[in-house]
């Protein structure tokens, strides 16, 4: 509490904060503390000043001393937690917040910060409870409203995110944020035009790099998003990043020794993740090759059993989650790589800044983002000729380098469920169409076509299996669509897998997997094929829309590729109505999977290493950086 004896002086000091007159503020505060020694309020204020102006070491000392003198001062514990949060020392943040809350159980700011910590440390359900508690104490606390909306979006409760924003627009004094969340959420419930409108509004008010990356990522689901606009946004992202880091010095990029090829991988996906399911087996074989060194740059706070499996396959493992972009650039450049592989693209809060600063003579996009990143510093993109033809290369800023068979593979050793070797029941009364796709891929166009198929085939049901259906609002939105198209609600079955094995068990029970368009399945198509489930896909004109096409061509299942919606409809009706045909195809998938090249991790790793070596020894990009 501000005492009357120094109230005016404190107000004068606070008025200087926005002007960032640090020397004057510091001198005035120190002078005031000398006049009023051992004043808890003034010492806290001095610590806050140091915290605000990034003198964290001294701020921590101030709050530590305060707590020693006044152990029951909840404010000092909260402020010390703020300091540690800046350094991402989350265990210490949690410790002091719990003390602050124990001392004052109405401390809504402490509940809010505790929610932020749990959101960062992958305990998002608990984070929701913390934000809700903060709002229970103070329903008008804008930071908790914003954080709750963000966490709802992260947890795929998109309709809840929209509601809390729209119900509290008068409280949240941050219009770019409002538009950002509404853009994310409307995209995610497949109202793409609204999503585009809100993202445009957000970026026009305040161009934010991470918001732009989210926009570019989500635009892939929208068929009508202009390519020219896509590349304009990517170039603006790059320009904004370079302006923020203009003082950073570009070092010379050196080529490593001719005898060893040094390959780095950057990503947040070194955990239970679709990318891990694809790359783990490949890394296992690559790590055993002579004269190959593998480097992991793990941008993930959370670790699990998959992280441990991945670590065993890298010669060098470096955690960069706590590193700034500039420190990460220095770290990677010291490793003197030949090739740096980006596994994220515009997904999952990417670290594209380190690629923009150029960390290796060759920088490649692979596996985690199946579209152009749109940055000149990403030199190559790994694909195959089934997903990107020679004519389509002009739609990508990267030079396309093609694997001989397929752009990626699947580590089938990670599939622990027993696969379906039982012959298809020729007398089966119901044929189950299925989709494991995230609902954002199931656009109105897709649902219209699936409704048409269901109305034509009385012997079929549709199984939708995805964890996102835990959001009953979104599930009911999709169900209502089918009911309005005269589909009995009992023919639409929602499944919420509890873990990956359960997810795969659901796919194994599909008789036919219906692929989505324009964004087709990638990892899920490979998993379905391994489990003996044929995939009905429709070819498109981009990498994202041709993944199913590439999988089926490599499986020898070209008959399951439709050229347009009419052919997709006819084939769905034909295959679901002919038990003998369906049985034969399922047997073919099971019989051939052990010998099919798309599941051969060793062959893929050999082909990938050849590609990397060809790039290293024939690459002329290096000349630009010497």
**Phi and psi, residue 231, nearest 5°:** -75, -30
Q: Is residue 128 part of a domain?
A: no
Q: Does any domain span residue 136?
A: no
Rounded CA-CA distance 446/436 in Å is 14
Note the pTM of the prediction, 2 decimals: 0.86
487 pLDDT more than 80: yes
Residue 566 has a pLDDT of 98
pLDDT at 21 over 80: no
Question: Contact 409/432 with Cβ under 8 angstroms?
Answer: no
Distance, CA of 111 to CA of 116 (rounded, Å):
9
Instruction: Enumerate the H helices of 87-188 as residue ranges.
Output: 90-103, 108-120, 124-137, 142-154, 158-167, 175-188
Choose one of 234, 253, 285: the last residue of a domain.
234
CATH code of 362's domain: 3.40.50.11380
Which pLDDT score, from 0 to 100, does residue 425 have?
A: 62
Residue linked to tokens 């068990």: 505
Range in 72-76, 224-228, 300-304, 458-462 the model is least confident about: 300-304
**Count of domains for the chain:** 4
pLDDT over 90, % of the chain = 78
397-405: average pLDDT: 96
217 plus 294 within the same structural domain: no
What CATH number is attached to the domain comprising 437?
A: 3.40.50.2000
C-alpha separations of 445 from 238, 565, 573 in Å: 34, 10, 18
- Are 486 and 595 found together in one domain? yes
* Among 11, 100, 15, 84, residue whose Cα is nearest residue 47: 84
Residue (of 526, 519, 601) closest to 347 by Cα position: 519
Let me know whether 403 and 428 are in one domain. no
- Tell me, yes or no, whether 51 and 186 share the same domain: no
CB atoms within 10 A of CB 459: 11
Query: What is the spatial distance between Cα 443 and Cα 547, in angstroms, rounded to a whole number?
Result: 17
Mark whether 39 and 64 lie in a shared domain.
yes
Per residue in 353-399, pLDDT (tens digit) is: 999 999 999 999 999 999 999 999 999 999 999 999 999 999 999 99
Q: Give me the mean pLDDT over the 431-444 stretch.
A: 95
Q: What burial letters (b/e) apply to 460-469, b meaning 16+ CB within 10 Å?
A: bbbbbbbbbb
492 and 579 together in one domain:
yes
State the DSSP H helix or E strand holding residue 266, giving kind and residue range, or none if neither: strand 261-267
- Read off the pLDDT of each residue in 23-47 and give the average, rounded to a whole number: 85
The neighbour count for residue 13, using CB atoms within 10 Å, is: 22
Q: Is residue 623 part of a domain?
A: no
For residue 363, being part of any structural domain is answered with yes
Query: 497 with 390, same domain?
Result: no
> What local confidence, expressed as pLDDT, does residue 121 receive?
80
| Spatial distance between the Cα atoms of 87 and 99, rounded to a whole number of angstroms | 19
And the tokens for 230?
Answer: 């896509």
Same domain, 572 and 431: yes
Q: Are residues 390 and 424 in the same domain?
A: no
Closest CA to 359 of 372, 377, 346, 344: 377
Residue 27 maps to a domain:
yes
Question: Do 311 and 371 fall into the same domain?
Answer: yes
Structural domain that includes position 209 = 156-234
pLDDT single digits (tens) 505-543: 999 999 999 999 999 999 999 999 999 999 999 999 999
Residue 170: inside a domain:
yes
How do residues 110-121 score in pLDDT, each as one tens digit? 999 999 999 988
- Looking at residue 250, what is its pLDDT? 46
DSSP 273: S
Domain check: are 22 and 94 in the same one? Answer: yes
Task: Select from 187, 217, 234 the last residue of a domain.
Answer: 234
Average pLDDT across the chain, whole number = 91
Query: Which residues neighbour 433 within 8 Å (Cβ) at sequence distance 6 or greater?
Result: 450, 453, 454, 460, 461, 462, 463, 510, 511, 512, 513, 514, 572, 576
Q: In what order do the strands lie in the sheet with 380-383?
A: 316-319, 292-298, 261-267, 339-342, 362-365, 380-383, 399-402
Same domain for 213 and 90? no
Specify if 283 maps to a domain: yes
**239 is a domain residue:** no
Helix axes 601-618, 274-286, angle to 10 degrees: 70
Q: Which of 386, 409, 432 is the last residue of a domain?
A: 409
Q: Which of 43-47, 67-71, 378-382, 425-429 has the highest mean pLDDT?
A: 378-382
């Amino acid at each position: 509490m501000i005492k009357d004896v120094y109230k005016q002086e404190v107000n004068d000091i606070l008025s200087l904060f926005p002007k960032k007159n640090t020397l004057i503020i510091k001198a005035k505060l120190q002078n005031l503390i000398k006049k009023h020694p051992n004043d808890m309020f003034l010492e806290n204020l001095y610590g806050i000043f140091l915290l605000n102006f990034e003198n964290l070491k001294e701020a921590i000392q101030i709050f530590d001393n305060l707590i020693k003198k006044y152990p029951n001062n909840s404010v000092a514990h909260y402020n010390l937690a703020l300091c540690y949060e800046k350094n991402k020392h989350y265990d210490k943040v949690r410790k002091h917040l719990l003390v602050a809350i124990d001392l004052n159980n109405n401390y809504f700011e402490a509940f809010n910060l505790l929610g932020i910590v749990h959101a960062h440390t992958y305990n998002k359900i608990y984070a929701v409870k913390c934000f809700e508690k903060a709002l229970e104490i103070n329903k008008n606390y804008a930071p908790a409203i914003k954080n709750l909306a963000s966490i709802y979006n992260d947890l795929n409760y998109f309709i809840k995110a929209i509601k809390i924003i729209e119900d509290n627009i008068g409280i949240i004094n941050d219009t770019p944020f409002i538009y950002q969340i509404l853009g994310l959420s409307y995209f995610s419930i497949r109202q793409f035009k609204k999503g585009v409108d809100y993202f445009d509004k957000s970026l026009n008010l305040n161009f934010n790099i991470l918001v732009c990356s989210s926009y570019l990522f989500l635009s892939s689901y929208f068929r009508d998003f202009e390519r020219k606009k896509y590349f304009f946004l990517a170039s603006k992202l790059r320009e904004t990043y370079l302006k923020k880091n203009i003082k950073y010095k570009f070092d010379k990029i050196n080529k490593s020794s001719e005898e060893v090829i040094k390959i780095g991988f950057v990503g947040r996906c070194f955990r239970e993740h679709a990318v891990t399911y694809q790359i783990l087996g490949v890394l296992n074989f690559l790590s055993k090759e002579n004269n190959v060194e593998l480097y992991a740059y793990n941008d993930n706070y959370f670790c699990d059993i998959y992280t441990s499996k991945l670590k065993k396959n890298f010669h060098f493992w470096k955690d960069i989650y706590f590193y700034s972009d500039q420190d990460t650039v220095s770290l990677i450049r010291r490793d003197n790589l030949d090739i740096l592989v980006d596994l994220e693209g515009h997904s999952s809060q990417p670290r594209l800044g380190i690629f923009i600063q150029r960390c290796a003579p060759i920088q490649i996009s692979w596996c985690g983002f199946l579209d152009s990143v749109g940055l000149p510093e990403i030199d190559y993109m790994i694909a195959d000729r089934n997903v990107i033809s020679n004519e389509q290369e002009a739609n990508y800023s990267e030079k396309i380098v093609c694997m001989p068979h397929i752009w990626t593979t699947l580590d089938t050793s990670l599939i622990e469920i027993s696969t379906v070797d039982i012959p298809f029941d020729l007398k089966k009364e119901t044929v189950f169409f299925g989709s494991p796709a995230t609902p954002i891929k199931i656009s109105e166009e897709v649902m219209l076509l699936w409704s048409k198929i269901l109305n034509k085939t009385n012997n079929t049901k549709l199984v939708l299996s995805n964890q996102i259906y835990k959001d009953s609002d979104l599930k009911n939105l999709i169900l209502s669509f089918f009911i309005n198209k005269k589909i009995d609600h009992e023919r639409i079955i929602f499944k919420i897998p509890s873990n990956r094995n359960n997810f795969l068990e659901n796919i194994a029970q599909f008789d036919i997997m219906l692929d989505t368009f324009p964004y087709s399945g990638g990892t899920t198509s490979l998993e379905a094929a391994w489990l003996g489930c044929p995939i009905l896909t429709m070819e498109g004109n981009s990498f994202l829309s041709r993944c199913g096409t590439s999988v089926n061509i490599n499986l020898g299942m070209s008959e399951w590729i439709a050229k347009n919606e009419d052919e997709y409809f006819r084939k769905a009706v034909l295959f679901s109505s002919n038990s003998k045909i369906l049985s034969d195809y399922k047997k073919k998938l099971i019989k051939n999977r052990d010998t099919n090249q798309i599941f051969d991790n060793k062959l893929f790793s050999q082909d990938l290493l050849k590609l990397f070596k060809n790039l290293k020894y024939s690459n002329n990009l290096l000349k630009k950086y010497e």
